[in-house]
Amino acid sequence: MDLMTMMLGAQGGGAIQQLAQQFGIGEEQARAAVAKMVPALSRGLKRDLADPDNAAGLMRALQRGGHQRYVDQPETLAAPETVADGNAILGHLFGSKEVSRQVAERVGGDTGLDSGMVKQMLPMVAALLMGSLSKQTAAQGGDGEGLMGMLGGLLDADGDGSVVDDLMGMAGRFFR
């Protein structure tokens, strides 16, 4: 299962419904925004995994399991503590608030949504990403080697060693 499918299918689409309701937009608009955010989040995740210390920190965070609640209880996505956690996740993945702003502007331009709204969605989607990865980690036993294999598989779905084509394919599937 790829990262996009995991996130969009979380709780039978409950996360997408929650985002749509929270921001007063249609589910298709919320789905499109998430689909446009995932490649940027995935690039940040891949960059993090390239550094052994960051990869170890990510594994510890995923193994703790606390992020699963964002998938299991999508109504918590708008809670202040979720947004704070999501902002911390964005800090790790993007490295700066400027990158978050750039992603929000790009996603807003691509989807027609206000970039300010997208900027508010980003931490919720980052929390959902960690929740999806955490849930998948728990389902696979949570050991370090299996986790690294799973993350590599999620980011490189066709096994060709490059995630770029996979990310483009993931995003493309949702705009046909």
pLDDT tens per residue, range 130-141: 988 888 777 776
In angstroms, the Cα distances linking 109 to 43, 94, 143, 147 are 19, 19, 40, 34
Domain count, the chain: 1
Express each pLDDT in 88-139 by its tens digit.
999 989 989 999 999 999 999 999 999 999 999 999 999 999 988 888 777 7
Domain that holds residue 38: 3-173
